[in-house]
């Protein structure tokens, strides 16, 4: 698939969630001073040099734009413009085929990463130079030359310890202060003791100094830590780059009839808000005027749109489909439906809080053993020889040789490689512990609407309908956002020839679309309305009350859903469906994908309660869900996953976010997590083997700096090499997972529009046809 | 011994030169878009872009 076909993606695609309005863009722009404004946008569609050029040159041509710069790594564009001009940035990007959306947070520089990279650079410099001098010492430099080299090494090591070592000292101190133990404690202790001992030896012209060991250790460990950070940051930017679904503000109708676009935080109860068709309801409210169809799938999980009119209650997050409505806010944003979900999420203590990471558990076992061994060695040498200096030197040598270089790398390196594999499969993982938790699951709980299904309907009987009728229906359906209309439009395929001409088109909420053409009235919608008979059911196209065609639609399964469920069951994982939708649709889906256990019509609290009950009975459950109503359950689960199309809050609550449409992402993530868990255990075993050999040598006092350097580097390399084995996909991989192969194009983070390219084509053509 | 007195400082100086150069490039944001930097080299420079709004296109050289 070519990634770059500007324009072909259909700028006018109404099925796509609408981009930010100019008011929202203005709210999100920053003032730079000197009359300059800066707007940061996420543009998931940029993939190559041609995209960069297209975006930058199109934006640079706009009046008032000073500079436009694309960042290809983060899929973002930064536009600087003169205050008071407000160039149509988002509209221009949409027109050339790169839909853009606003970023949630201020895209500042990543300070932690800069600190880590600086530390790696300094440690690398120190390690290189000290090793240069150490090799000379090992190859026979003596007396004054050796002392000089030791002194120079000591000097070089000071800035390394101060700058690069600080990261470990800080973390170790934090752990100790809170009475915990982490891997950084033995590292910090080993590094500083090695330096202290070496300095003492240097002052007294001793033959052995361990400056190289202490600096090399920091260098290796920092590389692991930096890679870990880069991988996590990459996943995080990909997730924050996704289109935000919750509105940032709303159009408020003032008493005097004027209109103001206010940010969400300033909207209070009693205000009248205008919600246009295609917009989401910003806060909980009561409909004051207007009639429309409301899509509640994101808020409650119901798949069928609801008809609302004056007096009806609407909740934040619901999508207005057909006609503009005016609502009166009954709660501020912070007290709305969303806030209720946040409260439920906070109440649900998830697996994340209870879980102790493997590395922490290992170091809690490892550190006392190591420190005890060093102490016993010291005591033993005192008893046997009575030589204090010798006993201390050997005890410190034991600490240096057991300093968990390999152990410190054992976990992060595997997780970096695993996160990379997941990234290539379009799955973003928030942190390493998520993979550890996913590897343990024995239960998988799925939401229905938007997770097992795509939230779109498909036309089941497209073959039975005459092409001419379908063409007519599609032309009518193009005027509507209703799921059934979109299904008809998608089924009609690319249109050739002239598009039917209508004199007038009107969408009637709760009924359908009515159009007048050549003196006859066409209706597409509810059969009882289109045919004027009460006994008719389903969706039909009628001409002057006479039926032309009947349409049957049903929920579209997410691609790979049935396979994914089957694979999970084959792995011995119990699968359940928890849905907020009615019993009928849930039973049908459960039947189609072969799930025996399902519960329907659940409230958000019920879902979270069910997961808490599973956890209480010792089960470890994976929750996969997308809606606002799933967010508490995602937080309550042992580990959780959400599609890119999920509600913002659900994406933030989930440990994994998958960007591609297929649900195969779930078994793929499980596979990678399990194999990374295996590799981590192997790495632990390798590290323990290494210690079993090296520690006796150290205890008996045979360790020289050369032995320490060889042993430490050797064990680190071994652990890294073992981790890299994860990089090669297992040959026994199912052929069906082809789109997940490492060769495939880098995922398009934020490709959150749910229509595939093949479905987009007809829309574009139709729209263009209409415009012509 | 005397040649060491020259060579060791030279080695350290060259090493620190590399370190400083790296830290400078890090600070000036050259590592912020590695993917973009890789493909930007393939983008052709626009043929001498005349200053927008001035039909003769001379104002660029004029300043």
CA distance A176 to chain B (A): 32
B19 touches A at CB < 8 Å: yes
Q: In this complex, which of A70, A118, A145 lies closest to B26 when CB atoms are compared?
A: A118
Cα–Cα distance between A181 and A55 in angstroms, integer?
Answer: 50
Q: In this complex, which of A52, A61, A144 lies closest to B36 when CB atoms are compared?
A: A52
Residue B36 pLDDT exceeds 90: no
Q: How far is CA A658 from CA A63, A626, A729, in A?
A: 38, 11, 19
Asked if B31's CB is within 8 angstroms of A117's CB, the reply is: yes
CA of residue A398 relative to chain centroid, distance: 43
Asked if A132's CB is within 8 angstroms of B31's CB, the reply is: no
B26 touches A at CB < 8 Å: yes
Question: A–B: how many Cβ contacts below 8 A?
Answer: 54
Q: Contacts by B27-32 with C-beta closer than 8 Å and gap 24+?
A: B31/A117, B32/A71, B32/A73, B32/A109
Q: In this complex, which of B15, B23, B26 lies closest to A129 when CB atoms are compared?
A: B15
**Comparing C-alpha atoms, which of A65, A57, A133 is closest to residue A96?**
A57
Tokens of A611: 């997961």
The predicted pLDDT at position A738 comes to 37
Cα–Cα distance between A25 and A63 in angstroms, integer?
Answer: 17
Asked if B18's CB is within 8 angstroms of A125's CB, the reply is: yes
Closest chain B residue to A111, measured at CA: B27
**Contact assessment for residue A500 and residue A769, using Cβ atoms and an 8 Å cutoff:** no
List residues bridging with A172 in a β-sheet.
Answer: none
**Contact assessment for residue A163 and residue A365, using Cβ atoms and an 8 Å cutoff:** no
B window 34-63, beta carbon within 8 A of A: 34-36, 39-40, 42-43, 46, 52
Catalytic residues of A: 447
Asked if B15's CB is within 8 angstroms of A128's CB, the reply is: yes
Asked if B19's CB is within 8 angstroms of A49's CB, the reply is: no
The predicted pLDDT at position A265 comes to 78
Label residues A534-565 b or e (16+ Cβ within 10 Å = b). Answer: eebeebbbbeeeebbbbbebbbbbbbbbbbbb
Asked if A117's CB is within 8 angstroms of B36's CB, the reply is: no
Strand ranges inside A587-644, DSSP E: 597-599, 621-624, 639-643
The predicted pLDDT at position A626 comes to 85
The predicted pLDDT at position A670 comes to 92
Asked if A73's CB is within 8 angstroms of B11's CB, the reply is: no
Contacts of A73 in chain B (CB under 8 A): 32-36
Per DSSP, the three-state class of A575 is: strand
Asked if B12's CB is within 8 angstroms of A129's CB, the reply is: yes
The predicted pLDDT at position A695 comes to 87
The predicted pLDDT at position A169 comes to 92
**Contact assessment for residue A557 and residue A592, using Cβ atoms and an 8 Å cutoff:** yes
B20 touches A at CB < 8 Å: no
CA distance A58 to chain B (A): 13
Asked if B46's CB is within 8 angstroms of A145's CB, the reply is: no
Contacts of B36 in chain A (CB under 8 A): 52, 70-73
Q: Is the pTM of this model over 0.80?
A: no
CA distance B58 to chain A (A): 19
CA distance B61 to chain A (A): 19
Q: What is the CA radius of gyration of chain B?
A: 22
Strand ranges inside A350-493, DSSP E: 427-429, 443-446, 453-459
Which DSSP helix (H) or strand (E) runs through A633?
helix A631-636
Contacts of B39 in chain A (CB under 8 A): 48-49, 52, 72
B13 touches A at CB < 8 Å: no
Residues of A near B (CB-CB distance < 8 A)?
Answer: 48-49, 52-53, 57, 61, 70-74, 109, 114, 117-118, 121-122, 125, 128-129, 132-133, 144-145, 148, 152, 156
The predicted pLDDT at position A8 comes to 38
Dihedral angle sign, alpha carbons of residues A312, A318, A321, A327: positive
Contacts of B1 in chain A (CB under 8 A): 144-145
Q: In this complex, which of B31, B36, B46 lies closest to A70 when CB atoms are compared?
A: B36
A672 Cβ contact list (under 8 Å, min separation 6): A418, A421, A422, A425, A435, A726
Asked if B33's CB is within 8 angstroms of A118's CB, the reply is: no
Q: In this complex, which of A49, A72, A132 lies closest to B42 when CB atoms are compared?
A: A49
Complex-level ipTM beyond the 0.85 threshold: no
**Successive 10-residue mean pLDDT values, chain A, 772 residues:** 40 46 78 83 82 87 87 84 83 85 64 86 92 87 85 92 90 86 82 89 87 88 86 78 73 80 81 85 87 82 81 85 86 76 72 74 82 91 88 86 77 86 85 87 88 81 79 82 82 70 81 83 83 76 83 83 89 88 84 86 85 88 87 87 84 85 89 91 87 86 83 84 74 39 38 36 36 35
Contacts of A70 in chain B (CB under 8 A): 36
**Contact assessment for residue A197 and residue A393, using Cβ atoms and an 8 Å cutoff:** yes
- In the DSSP assignment, the letter for residue A630 is G
Q: What digits encode the pLDDT tens for the residues B3-21?
A: 878 888 898 899 999 999 9
């Amino acid at each position: 698939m070519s990634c770059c076909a500007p324009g072909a993606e259909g700028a006018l695609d109404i099925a796509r969630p609408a981009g930010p309005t100019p008011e929202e863009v203005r709210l999100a722009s920053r003032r730079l001073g000197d009359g300059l404004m800066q707007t940061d946008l996420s543009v998931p569609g940029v993939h190559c040099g041609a995209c960069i050029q297209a975006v930058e040159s199109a934006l640079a041509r706009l009046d008032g734009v000073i500079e436009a710069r694309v960042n290809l790594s983060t899929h973002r564009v930064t536009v600087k413009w003169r205050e008071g001009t407000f160039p149509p940035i988002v509209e221009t990007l949409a027109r050339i085929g790169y839909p853009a959306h606003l970023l949630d947070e201020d895209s500042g520089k990543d300070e932690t990463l800069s600190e880590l990279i600086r530390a790696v650079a300094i440690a690398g410099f120190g390690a290189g130079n000290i090793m240069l001098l150490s090799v000379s010492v090992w190859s026979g430099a003596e007396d004054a030359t050796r002392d000089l080299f030791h002194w120079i090494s000591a000097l070089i090591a000071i800035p390394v310890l101060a700058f690069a070592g600080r990261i470990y000292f800080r973390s170790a101190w934090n752990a100790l202060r809170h009475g915990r133990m982490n891997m950084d404690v033995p590292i910090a202790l080993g590094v500083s003791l090695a330096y202290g001992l070496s300095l003492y030896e240097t002052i007294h012209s001793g033959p052995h100094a361990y400056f190289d060991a202490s600096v090399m250790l920091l260098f290796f460990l920092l590389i692991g830590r930096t890679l870990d950070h880069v991988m996590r940051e990459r996943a995080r930017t990909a997730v924050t780059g996704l289109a935000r679904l919750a509105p940032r503000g709303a159009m408020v109708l003032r008493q005097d009839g004027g209109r103001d676009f206010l940010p969400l935080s300033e909207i209070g109860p009693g205000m009248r808000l205008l919600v246009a068709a295609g917009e989401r309801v910003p806060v909980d409210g009561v409909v004051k005027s207007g009639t429309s169809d409301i899509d509640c799938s994101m808020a409650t999980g119901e798949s069928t749109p609801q008809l609302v009119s004056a007096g009806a209650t609407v909740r934040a997050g619901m999508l207005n489909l057909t006609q503009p409505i005016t609502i009166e806010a009954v709660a501020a944003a912070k007290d709305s439906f969303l806030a209720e979900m946040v409260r439920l999420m906070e109440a649900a203590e998830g697996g994340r809080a209870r879980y102790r990471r493997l590395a922490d558990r290992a170091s809690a076992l490892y550190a006392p053993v190591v420190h005890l061994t060093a102490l016993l060695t010291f005591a033993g040498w005192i008893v046997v020889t009575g030589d204090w200096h010798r006993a201390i030197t050997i005890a410190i040598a034991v600490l240096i040789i057991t300093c968990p270089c390999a152990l410190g790398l054992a976990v992060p390196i595997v997780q970096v490689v695993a996160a990379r594999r997941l990234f290539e499969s379009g799955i973003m993982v928030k942190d390493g512990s998520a993979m550890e938790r996913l590897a343990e699951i024995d239960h998988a709980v799925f939401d229905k609407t938007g997770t097992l299904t795509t939230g779109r309907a498909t036309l089941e009987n497209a073959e039975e309908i005459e092409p001419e009728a379908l063409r007519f229906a599609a032309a009518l359906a193009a005027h509507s956002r209703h799921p059934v209309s979109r299904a008809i439009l998608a089924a009609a395929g690319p249109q050739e020839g002239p598009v039917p001409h209508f004199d007038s088109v009107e969408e009637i909420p709760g009924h359908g679309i009515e159009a007048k053409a050549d003196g006859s009235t066409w209706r597409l919608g509810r059969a009882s309305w289109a045919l004027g008979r009460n006994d008719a059911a389903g969706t039909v196209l009628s001409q002057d009350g006479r039926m032309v065609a009947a349409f049957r639609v049903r929920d579209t399964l997410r691609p790979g859903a049935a396979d994914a469920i089957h694979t999970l069951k084959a792995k011995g994982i119990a699968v359940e469906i928890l849905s907020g939708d009615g019993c009928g649709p849930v039973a049908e889906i459960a039947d189609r994908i072969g799930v025996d256990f399902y519960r329907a019509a659940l409230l958000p609290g019920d879902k979270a309660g069910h997961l808490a009950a599973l956890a209480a009975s010792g089960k470890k459950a994976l929750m996969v869900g997308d809606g606002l109503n799933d967010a508490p359950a995602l937080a309550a689960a042992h580990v959780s996953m959400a599609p890119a199309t999920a509600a913002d809050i659900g994406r933030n609550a989930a440990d994994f976010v998958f960007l591609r449409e297929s649900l195969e992402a779930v078994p793929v993530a499980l596979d990678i997590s399990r194999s990374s868990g295996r590799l981590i255990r192997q790495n632990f075993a390798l590290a323990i083997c290494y210690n079993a050999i090296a520690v006796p040598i150290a205890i008996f006092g045979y360790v020289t700096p050369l032995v320490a350097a060889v042993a430490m580097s050797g064990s680190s390399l071994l652990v890294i090499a073992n981790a890299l084995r994860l990089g090669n996909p297992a040959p026994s991989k199912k052929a069906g997972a082809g789109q997940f192969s490492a060769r495939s194009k880098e995922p398009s983070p934020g490709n959150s529009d749910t229509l595939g390219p093949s479905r987009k084509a007809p829309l574009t053509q139709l729209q263009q046809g209409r415009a012509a | 011994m005397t040649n060491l007195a020259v060579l060791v400082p030279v080695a350290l100086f060259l090493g620190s030169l590399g370190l400083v150069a790296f830290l400078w490039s890090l600070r000036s944001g050259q590592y912020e878009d590695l993917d973009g930097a890789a493909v930007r080299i393939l983008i052709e420079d626009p043929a001498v872009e005349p200053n927008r709004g001035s039909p003769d296109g001379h104002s660029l050289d004029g300043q």
